[in-house]
């Protein structure tokens, strides 16, 4: 047995893991170990820093509940979620609307609502607006009966599950009509701070970052034969559009609030139009492409299996 040194330890670990039967697990873990060791060598990681990292990861796990997913928040604030979303987009057979963060506030159990319904129980004067758009394939062919799940914060910048894990508000599931159109009433989205009272918030503060997200509304769209789309619209004029703490916006997701859009199906209110194009399903869509999940589903005894949205979580 050779002597283990900072220079030889990586190969020793890789040798021991080389018999991993699952080839993808072998590949991913070998790369993770190589980069983790390279990182420790590059910064000459000290024992005190190592234990600080262990304490941090312990705190991230401990604060997670069925309504709060600090691990996803950590991934989001490190840009890993946005990176994985981008890599996922690269595997689509066609270029549709870009993916954006699912975030930590998606909820499987959302009410199915008819076209034109309001998703907000509380509407402050002047905050109401119409949200509509067309779901199509990448060539513009409308997709009828597509499922459009929508969730956003209320006027206080909080999601329903942050205020009360048992209540449902500012979210709903709609179905597109024969022209691929979905339409609903809601409130204008506002920018908000990510939860700053946990270990991820402490990290963000220590880095001198503001912790803000630009105003946005989340979407999860599905249609048979097409790749599921997890995305969000962002208000173009939001002051945090260029430095979102979780790196969500990209060019095709920025929209504006219109005051008199003649094509809006509901008149008399400000409106947001957000059209989405879905790629046809391909080989990469055999497993879920969601970067995230319902926090409650992550804590269920049966772990996620990478199955389709109908049978798994998001």
CB of 93 to Fe ion, least distance (A): 28
Do the beta carbons of residue 248 and residue 100 sit within 8 Å?
Answer: yes
CB of 60 to Fe ion, least distance (A): 19
User: Parallel, antiparallel, or unpaired: how do β-strands 128-137 and 212-213 relate?
Assistant: unpaired
CB of 217 to Fe ion, least distance (A): 8
Judge residue 89's burial from the number of C-beta atoms within 10 Å of its C-beta, 0-12 exposed, 13-18 middle, 19 or more buried.
buried
CB of 8 to Fe ion, least distance (A): 46
Angle among Cα 168, 107, 180 to the nearest 5 degrees reads 95
Virtual CA dihedral for 118, 250, 275, 75, nearest 10 degrees?
-50
292 in contact with Fe ion (CB under 5 A): no
Which CB, 139 or 167, lies closer to Fe ion?
A: 167
Only one of the segments 35-43, 85-93, 102-110, 276-284 lies at the binding site for Fe ion (rule: CB under 5 A); that segment is 102-110
Q: CB atoms < 10 A from the CB of 23, how many? A: 8
Binding string to Fe ion for residues 216 to 255, with x set by CB under 5 A, is what?
Answer: ----------------------------------------
Q: How many residues bind Fe ion (CB under 5 A)?
A: 1
CB of 218 to Fe ion, least distance (A): 6
Contacting Fe ion (CB under 5 A), which of 81, 89, 103, 182?
103
What are the angstrom distances between the C-alpha of 218 and each of 22, 146, 148, 198, 273? 35, 16, 10, 23, 14
Per the DSSP assignment, residues forming a β-bridge with 26 are none
Which CB, 226 or 234, lies closer to Fe ion?
A: 234
Instruction: Tell me the DSSP string of 238-289.
Output: -TTTTS-TT----GGGEE-EES--TT-SS-SS-EEE--EEEPBP-GGGGS--
Which CB, 103 or 154, lies closer to Fe ion?
A: 103
Only one of the segments 80-88, 101-109, 286-294, 295-303 lies at the binding site for Fe ion (rule: CB under 5 A); that segment is 101-109
Only one of the segments 15-23, 24-32, 46-54, 98-106 lies at the binding site for Fe ion (rule: CB under 5 A); that segment is 98-106
Which CB, 103 or 133, lies closer to Fe ion?
A: 103
Which CB, 66 or 116, lies closer to Fe ion?
A: 66
CB of 290 to Fe ion, least distance (A): 15
Residue nearest to Fe ion (CB): 103
Which CB, 103 or 292, lies closer to Fe ion?
A: 103
CA distance 236 to 251: 9
CB of 105 to Fe ion, least distance (A): 6
**How far out from the chain centre does Cα 256 lie?**
21
User: Parallel, antiparallel, or unpaired: how do β-strands 181-187 and 254-255 relate?
Assistant: unpaired
The binding site for Fe ion (CB under 5 A) comprises: 103
């Amino acid at each position: 047995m050779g002597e283990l040194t900072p220079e030889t330890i990586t190969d020793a670990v890789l040798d021991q893991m080389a018999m991993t039967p699952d080839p993808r697990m072998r590949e991913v873990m070998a790369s993770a170990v190589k980069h983790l060791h390279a990182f420790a060598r590059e910064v000459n990681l000290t024992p005190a820093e190592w234990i600080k990292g262990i304490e941090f990861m312990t705190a991230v796990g401990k604060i997670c509940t069925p309504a709060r997913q600090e691990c996803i928040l950590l991934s989001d604030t490190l840009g890993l979620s946005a990176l994985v979303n981008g890599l996922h987009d690269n595997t689509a057979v066609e270029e549709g609307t870009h993916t954006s963060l699912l975030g930590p506030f998606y909820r499987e159990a959302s009410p199915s609502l008819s076209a034109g319904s309001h998703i907000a129980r509380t509407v402050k004067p002047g905050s109401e607006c119409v949200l509509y758009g067309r779901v199509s394939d990448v060539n513009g062919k409308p997709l009828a009966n597509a499922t459009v799940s929508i969730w956003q914060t209320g006027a206080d910048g909080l999601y329903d599950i942050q205020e009360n894990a048992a209540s449902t508000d500012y979210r709903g599931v709609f179905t597109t009509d024969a022209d691929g159109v979905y339409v609903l009433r809601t409130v204008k989205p506002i920018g908000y701070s990510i939860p700053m009272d946990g270990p991820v918030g402490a990290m963000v503060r220590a880095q001198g970052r503001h912790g803000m997200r630009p105003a946005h509304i989340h979407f999860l769209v599905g249609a048979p034969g097409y790749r599921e789309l997890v995305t969000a619209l962002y208000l173009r004029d939001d002051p945090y559009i260029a430095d979102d703490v979780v790196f969500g916006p990209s060019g095709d997701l920025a929209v504006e609030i219109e005051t008199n859009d003649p094509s809006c199906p509901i008149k008399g209110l400000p409106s947001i139009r957000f059209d989405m194009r879905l790629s046809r399903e391909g080989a990469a869509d055999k497993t879920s492409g969601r970067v995230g999940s319902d926090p409650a589903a992550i804590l269920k005894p049966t772990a996620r299996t990478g199955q389709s949205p109908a049978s798994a979580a998001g």
